């Protein structure tokens, strides 16, 4: 029976120093939490907004600027986001609707934005996320918008058009798909269950390694992992987080066809929960419009953007389902309506449109 070798006096001294520092850190973090509770009490009296993503960003950027190392800036940012999330939970717990069950990339995106202390409401579909947020069951929601490989999530775009919620933030996340199963082998896999987007993003790998397995679409990758845990002949495509959640083996890592596979998630809420964020200098304005079905109508939409020097970063069309070959156009523009050139361009776009709705203005997520 092996035993751990006795630690040297030098190592014991360093461990004691770490223990002492940990104790000091704990006291300081709790001291911060007590001040945060006082801030929460004042916000209740004043009727102020509890969660301020701009304030979170400012604090984290300031900490990163003052960080002397050796910790990396990204690691310091992650630590402070969790500290601020825990302190906010003392002021007022934030309830966030995400695609469930536990272990989805959507949940992971929400953790990146709100921190792990948020109270997550797990929904079966992105439609349910919209409904929960609009109905007030959750203060915020997180939904998938587009993937760098497979493009936009069409159902999400359709929901934006009719929802009272607006976009106040986004998360851009590198997606690593893993094949998960209850046994650590590729043999005997009859079904691969995952979200349709994940199945499409792993098409080439699945065709090569599991050509005869049925590809079964489900509402989320975590749901596919859950089903794989219940069925020995099934596999799921999901995250390492889901593998831990459902006790599955990672049979094969990173099976996505595109190594640089990113997904954009939008953070949504009702306008009275959080108003349009102030300009940051690096913002995106998303809108949906439709124009009369006449020659040159789409071309006319581009003229105000060129005239006022506004860059367009996304242009997607979705059928209006009127039977008249009419379309809604989803557009992302660089800038904030508070900028004069953007305001003029938006006003002219609205005058040309049969339908016009700003879906939200928000800071661009770091890639």
Q: Which pLDDT does position 135 carry in this prediction?
A: 95
**Mean of pLDDT values over 127-154:** 88
Q: Which pLDDT does position 360 carry in this prediction?
A: 95
Question: Per residue in 313-359, pLDDT tens?
Answer: 989 888 776 555 578 899 999 999 999 999 999 999 999 888 999 99
Q: Which pLDDT does position 197 carry in this prediction?
A: 87
Q: Which pLDDT does position 163 carry in this prediction?
A: 94
Q: Which pLDDT does position 225 carry in this prediction?
A: 94
What is the number of other CB atoms lying within 10 angstroms of the CB of residue 62?
11
- Cα gap 212→271, rounded to integer Å: 49
Q: Which pLDDT does position 150 carry in this prediction?
A: 67
- Cα gap 225→106, rounded to integer Å: 14
Instruction: Assign 3-class secondary structure to the chain.
Output: CCCCCCCCHHHHHHHHHHHHHHHHHHHHHHHHHHHHHHHHHHHHHHCCCCCCHHHHHHHHHHHHHHCCCCCCHHHHHHHHHHHHHHHHHHHCCCEEEEECCCCCHHHHHHHHHHCCCCEEEEECCHHHHHHHHHHCCCCEEEEEEEECCCEECHHHHHHHHHCCCEEEEEEEEECCCEEEECCCCCCCCCEEEECHHHHHHCHHHHHHHCCCCEEEECCCHHHHHHHHHHCCCEEEEECHHHHHHHCCEEEECCCCCCCCCEEEEEEEECCCCCCCCCCCCCEEEEEEEECCCCCCHHHHHHHHHHHCCCCEEEEEEEECCCCCCCEEEEEEEECCCCCHHHHHHHHHHHHHCCEEEEEEEEECCCC
**Mean of pLDDT values over 38-48:** 83
Q: Which pLDDT does position 1 carry in this prediction?
A: 47
Which of 101-105, 125-129, 131-135, 303-307 is the least confident region? 101-105
CA-wise closest residue to 172 among 313, 349, 295, 337: 313
Cβ 88 vs Cβ 80: under 8 Å: no
**Mean of pLDDT values over 196-212:** 94
Looking at the predicted structure, is the pLDDT value of residue 53 above 80?
yes
- Cα gap 113→269, rounded to integer Å: 14
**Mean of pLDDT values over 141-153:** 81
Q: Confidence class of residue 2 from pLDDT cuts 50, 70 and 90?
A: low
Percent above pLDDT 70 for the chain: 96
Which of 198-212, 277-291, 322-336, 344-358 is the least confident region? 322-336
Q: Which pLDDT does position 98 carry in this prediction?
A: 96
Q: Confidence class of residue 101 from pLDDT cuts 50, 70 and 90?
A: confident
Q: Confidence class of residue 90 from pLDDT cuts 50, 70 and 90?
A: confident
Q: Which pLDDT does position 219 carry in this prediction?
A: 87
Question: How much is the mean pLDDT over the chain?
Answer: 89
Percent above pLDDT 90 for the chain: 54
Question: Per residue in 54-70, pLDDT tens?
Answer: 888 888 889 888 999 89
- Cα gap 197→144, rounded to integer Å: 10
Q: Which pLDDT does position 262 carry in this prediction?
A: 87
Q: Which pLDDT does position 4 carry in this prediction?
A: 61
Q: Confidence class of residue 149 from pLDDT cuts 50, 70 and 90?
A: low
Q: Which pLDDT does position 356 carry in this prediction?
A: 92
Q: Which pLDDT does position 367 carry in this prediction?
A: 63
**Mean of pLDDT values over 232-252:** 93
């Amino acid at each position: 029976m092996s035993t751990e070798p006795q630690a040297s006096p030098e190592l014991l001294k360093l461990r004691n120093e770490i223990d002492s520092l940990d104790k000091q850190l704990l006291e300081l973090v709790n001291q911060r939490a007590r001040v945060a509770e006082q801030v929460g009490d004042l916000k209740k009296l004043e009727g102020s907004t509890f969660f301020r993503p701009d304030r979170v960003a400012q604090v984290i950027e300031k900490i990163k600027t003052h960080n002397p190392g050796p910790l990396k800036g990204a690691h310091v940012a992650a630590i402070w986001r969790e500290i601020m999330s825990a302190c906010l939970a003392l002021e007022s717990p934030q309830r966030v609707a995400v695609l469930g069950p536990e272990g989805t990339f959507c949940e992971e995106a929400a953790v990146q934005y709100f921190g792990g202390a948020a109270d997550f409401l797990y929904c079966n579909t992105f439609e349910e996320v919209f409904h929960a947020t609009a109905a007030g069951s959750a203060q915020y929601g997180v939904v998938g918008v587009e993937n760098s490989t497979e493009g936009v999530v069409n159902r999400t775009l359709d929901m934006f058009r009719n929802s009272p919620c607006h976009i106040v933030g986004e998360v851009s996340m590198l997606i690593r798909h893993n094949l998960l199963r209850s046994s650590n082998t590729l043999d005997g896999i009859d079904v691969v269950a995952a979200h349709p987007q994940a199945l499409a993003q792993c098409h080439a790998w699945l065709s090569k390694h599991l050509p005869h397995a049925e590809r079964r679409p489900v509402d989320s990758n975590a749901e596919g992992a859950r089903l794989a845990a219940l069925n020995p002949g099934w596999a799921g495509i999901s995250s390492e987080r889901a593998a831990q959640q459902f006790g599955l083996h990672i049979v094969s890592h990173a099976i996505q066809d595109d190594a640089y596979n990113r997904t954009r998630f939008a953070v949504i809420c009702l306008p009275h929960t959080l108003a349009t964020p102030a300009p940051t200098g690096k913002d995106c304005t998303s809108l949906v419009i439709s124009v009369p079905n006449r020659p040159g109508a789409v071309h006319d939409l581009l003229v105000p953007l060129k005239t006022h020097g506004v860059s367009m970063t996304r242009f997607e069309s979705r059928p209006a389902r009127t039977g008249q070959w009419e379309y809604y156009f989803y557009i992302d523009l660089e800038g904030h309506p508070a900028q004069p050139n953007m305001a003029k361009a938006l006003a002219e776009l609205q005058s040309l449109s049969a339908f016009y709705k700003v879906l939200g203005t928000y800071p661009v997520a770091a890639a």
